[in-house]
Amino acid sequence: MTLQVIVVDDQSLVRGGIRMILESEPDIEVIAEAEDGEAAVHLVEQFRPDVVLMDVRMAGIDGIEATRRIATSGSPSKVVMLTTFDQDENVYQALRAGASGFLLKSSPPSTIIDGVRLAATGESLFAPSVTKRLVEHYVHQPPTFQGTPPVLSTLTERELEVLGLLATGLSNAEIATTLFLSEATVKTYVSRILTKLDLRDRVQAVIAAYECGFVSPNRPRP
């Protein structure tokens, strides 16, 4: 199956470079480009691509607002943010708006290609380094619950266990090894978690785990 991608960036050279990188792969097709967030939202509505590579900073409707509109529209498209700076604080706003991860524009071609494939399959671009910065972001949050936060009350004990490991940045394969389960079983648990909590993907699950106090820098889950 060919993965369909839309590239959004206000610089034509950047868009062209990313297109060349992606279309060097037989299973990836760039079906459209946009230079601003408003055009991106319309193109996603029209084409419903598998993945949108979205620049964070653009004139007019920026990447964060465009991502929010795409996420709230019910579109199944996964949005991956493109940023120049590894420490871009806007990345966190974008993740909370519904993005499935982020890539640096300076990333090697292989990383961008792998990132598109991972995002399309739900294995989000939430590397341990990103998790670490997310943890640091919540260091000054209010004290966490003692026990399970009410928002997670619909989850079973095993699902809570999977969520705790997912929140540390582990992949499905790593969670499977830790819990002595098959990768397919872990994938099923993750899917159930997302459905019960009405979340788009595992990145949103990680954010939810921190925001509700289930996981914190001072109380990591096993």
CA dist 220 → 93, 117, 208 (Å):
23, 29, 14
Higher local confidence (pLDDT), 129 or 167: 167
Q: What is the rounded (10 degree) CA torsion for 49, 54, 58, 62?
A: 70
DSSP output for 137-179: HTTTSPPPPSS--GGGTTS-HHHHHHHHHHTTT--HHHHHHHH
Strand, helix or coil for residue 102: strand
The confidence score (pLDDT) of residue 129 equals 53
Which residue type does 146 have? Q
Q: How confident is the model at residue 130 (pLDDT cuts 50, 70, 90)?
A: low
In this structure, are residues 163 and 204 in contact, taking their beta carbons and an 8 Å threshold? Answer: no
The confidence score (pLDDT) of residue 21 equals 96
Q: Is the pLDDT of residue 126 over 80?
A: no
Q: What is the rounded (10 degree) CA torsion for 84, 85, 90, 92?
A: 120
Residue ranges of alpha helices (H) inside 23-108 are: 37-47, 63-72, 90-97
pLDDT tens-digit map of 174-206: 899 999 999 999 999 999 999 999 888 887 888
The confidence score (pLDDT) of residue 4 equals 97
Tell me how far apart the alpha carbons of residues 203 and 101 are, in angstroms, rounded to a whole number: 7
The confidence score (pLDDT) of residue 11 equals 93
Q: Would the pTM count as exceeding 0.85?
A: no
Question: Considering the chain, what is the average pLDDT of its residues?
Answer: 84
Tell me how far apart the alpha carbons of residues 131 and 174 are, in angstroms, rounded to a whole number: 15
The confidence score (pLDDT) of residue 186 equals 94
What structural domains and CATH numbers belong to the chain?
3-125 (3.40.50.2300), 138-211 (1.10.10.10)
> What average pLDDT does the segment 132-143 reach?
54
